């Protein structure tokens, strides 16, 4: 039981670390235009999500269990918002 609780805690903690804002890193690499049309965010995030796939590949290519389970039902921006921290529990609660 303690092992399960420990693993759950580590999973939640790693989720908070991985879901930190990522805009600064991407802007340093190739500027705002690498993710946004004319550097401006879109309302529906379609362009931004397709930009993620162009560089990182589709979710189905990721080996970890979290991405594999959700590759056909979620977009990158459901868990990774470039300019805001996303609490994974907030995203998870929508379906679970």
The CATH number linked to 46 is 1.10.1130.10
More confident residue, 36 or 2: 36
Q: How far is CA 34 from CA 1, 22, 53, 60, 63, in A?
A: 45, 13, 12, 22, 25
More confident residue, 5 or 78: 78
Residue 8 pLDDT > 70, yes or no? no
Domain boundaries, position 44: 2-93
pLDDT at residue number 21: 66
* Mean pLDDT in residue range 34-61: 90
Q: What share of the chain is helix, strand, coil (3-state, %, to 5)?
A: 60, 0, 40
Whole-number Å distance between alpha carbons of 62 and 64: 6
pLDDT at residue number 6: 56
Give the number of domains in the chain: 1
pLDDT at residue number 49: 93
pLDDT at residue number 87: 67
State pLDDT tens for residues 15-44: 544 445 678 888 888 888 888 998 888 999
pTM > 0.75: no
State pLDDT tens for residues 70-89: 878 888 888 887 787 766 66
Q: Which residues contact 84 (CB under 8 A, 6 or more apart)?
A: 21
């Amino acid at each position: 039981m303690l092992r399960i609780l420990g693993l759950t805690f580590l999973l939640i903690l790693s989720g908070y670390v991985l879901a930190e804002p990522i805009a600064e890193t991407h802007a340093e690499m190739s500027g705002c235009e690498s993710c946004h049309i004319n550097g401006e965010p879109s309302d529906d995030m379609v362009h931004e999500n397709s930009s993620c796939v162009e560089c990182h590949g589709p979710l189905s290519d990721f080996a970890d269990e979290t991405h594999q389970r959700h590759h056909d039902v979620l977009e990158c921006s459901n868990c990774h918002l470039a300019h805001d921290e996303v609490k994974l529990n907030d995203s998870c609660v929508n379906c679970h």
